[in-house]
Amino acid sequence: MRGFHYCLIGLDLAGKSSRPSGICLWWGKEVRTFVLYTDNEIIRLVKIFQPDIVAIDAPLSYPRDYQNSGVQAVPAWRECDLALRRKNIRLFPLNFNSMRELTKRGVALKTIMEKQGFRLRLVSNILTGQAFLEGVFLDPERFPIPDIT
């Protein structure tokens, strides 16, 4: 951590580097949003700002029994996906074409960033929306708001 400044990078990762990935940079009291395309651009930004956490909206792991060679006939679900499906939260399986590309890219970026010592967190707009609907963020015992000033 750099003195009193807290730094967080949020990444809405695109499945292909030819499409824009949304970036939110929260550094101290400043927030900036922009887009990047390539993995190298993303990694360079992370190295420059040295965030406390990189929050990525993309799958960062494969299911235990996942075969990454071609299309599977059976949907590929991680344990966390199955838990969400039991709560009637709909998700695409990881062997769905666009999800396969997104997962491959997410896993690759996770591997690189973790080797360089960065802390990553999986985030999801679906889960955040569901938490708001359930009032999770209104309950300070379930979701304490840290003092980062």
Q: What is the pLDDT of residues 89-103, one digit of tens each?
A: 777 666 666 778 888
Please report whether residue 146 resides in a domain: no
- The tally of domains found in the chain comes to 1
Cα separation, 100 vs 89, in Å, equals 19
Q: In what order do the strands lie in the sheet with 30-36?
A: 30-36, 21-27, 7-12, 53-56, 120-122
Task: Examine residue 31 and state whether it is found in any structural domain, yes or no.
Answer: yes
Domain that holds residue 39: 7-138
In a domain, 69, yes or no: yes
Q: What is the pLDDT along the chain (149 residues), one digit of tens a residue?
A: 445 578 999 999 999 999 999 999 998 889 999 999 999 999 999 999 999 999 998 888 876 666 554 555 555 766 766 777 777 777 766 666 677 888 899 999 999 999 999 999 888 765 555 555 555 445 556 555 554 43
CATH number at residue 86: 3.30.420
Q: Is 149 contained in some domain? A: no
